[in-house]
Amino acid sequence: MIDLHDIRYVRLGTPDLEAATRYCTDILGLQKIRTLGNAVYFRSDNRDHTLVYFEGDARDHATGFELRSFEEMEDARQVLAHAGTEATWGTTQECEERFVQAFLTFNDPSGNRIELVWRPYHSGWRYFPSRDAGINGFSHIGLRSTDPVRDERFWTKIMGARVSDWIGQAPLLRIDDVHHKIALFPSEYPGVQHINHQVESIDDIMRSWYFLQEKGINITFGPGKHPTSTAMFLYFEGPDGMVFEYSSGVSSITDDATHLPRQFPFEPAGFCMWGARPNIKEFKS
């Protein structure tokens, strides 16, 4: 199996790069670090970048995961080929655009574009937010899945992820101690469903709740607390219908041998133990 080290970045197409840039700095609170061609790069921690918006189709998404060595990259290509999934090497220019030494790209069974990267850049400068949202790092993504049961098999049997819990048929998957770095939600088409940034405390969540309302941003879920990961959360709408999430207090699973994944119902109580009800299509039965 492939051994994913960490999640690195999300790349999103947008027809309005200027509006997406304003949102990321003025609303989301990320640090703009560069414009390169038709793409703008943002930081949320000590990684070179964790989010890129580029001019293009709003459904053109890619998520990058880091591997530890070039040998693991070649092994991953062979594992994917054996499973019937073709992975291709990125060109020199594409590597420069991603600030990595090498990467492989392929689609999961639903059509989500995944990139496996080697030696991604870090920054020697501390993250300096454009507003004090309390962000301390990019943490996880929700992916759309046209068949969560099938895709769970791919992510666990091929990609090396482990199930932490289920909400209905939607698996929450971990690749390290953090409760989940990937969640697969039922959808009619592929793509990134939501993007999570961790914040320092519930105080940051509540401050952003008031701030986002004042700015006229659509709150889609929360404030609330997940019974799965125990994280307190707030979901809200971003450019082109993308959902962003702030959360704090996510749990860790340090012993794979003793952890038994739990089944939660695919209903509001399965998503929030405080009683918040989601206004997110993929969270509704």
pLDDT at 63: 98
Q: How many Å apart are CA 73 and CA 184, to the nearest integer? A: 24
Tokens found for residue 185 = 């939600």
Residue 285 has pLDDT above 90, yes or no: no
pLDDT at 22: 98
pLDDT at 229: 97
Domain with CATH 3.10.180.10 in the chain: 6-118, 135-283
Q: How many Å apart are CA 80 and CA 96, to the nearest integer? A: 24
pTM above 0.95, yes or no: yes
pLDDT of 70-110, one tens digit each?
A: 999 999 999 999 999 999 999 999 999 999 999 999 999 99
Q: How many Å apart are CA 164 and CA 259, to the nearest integer? A: 8
Q: Do 53 and 192 form a contact (C-beta atoms < 8 A)?
A: no
pLDDT of 216-251, one tens digit each?
A: 999 999 999 999 999 999 999 999 999 999 999 999
Which neighbouring-strand residues pair with 137?
198
pLDDT of 20-70, one tens digit each?
A: 999 999 999 999 999 999 999 999 999 999 999 999 999 999 999 999 999
Find all residues with CB under 8 Å of 18, minimum gap 6, and list them: none
pLDDT at 23: 98
DSSP-based helix, strand, coil % in the chain, nearest 5: 25, 40, 40
Q: Mean pLDDT, to the nearest integer, of 184-205? A: 98
Peptide bond into 268 cis (omega under 30): no
pLDDT at 104: 98
CATH code given to domain 6-118: 3.10.180.10
Q: How many Å apart are CA 129 and CA 126, to the nearest integer? A: 10
Find all residues with CB under 8 Å of 20, minimum gap 6, and list them: 12, 14, 40, 53, 239, 240
Which neighbouring-strand residues pair with 172?
165, 183
Residue 187 has pLDDT above 80, yes or no: yes
Q: Do 114 and 107 form a contact (C-beta atoms < 8 A)?
A: yes
Q: Do 106 and 86 form a contact (C-beta atoms < 8 A)?
A: yes
Q: Which CATH class is domain 135-283?
A: alpha beta
Q: Do 114 and 7 form a contact (C-beta atoms < 8 A)?
A: no
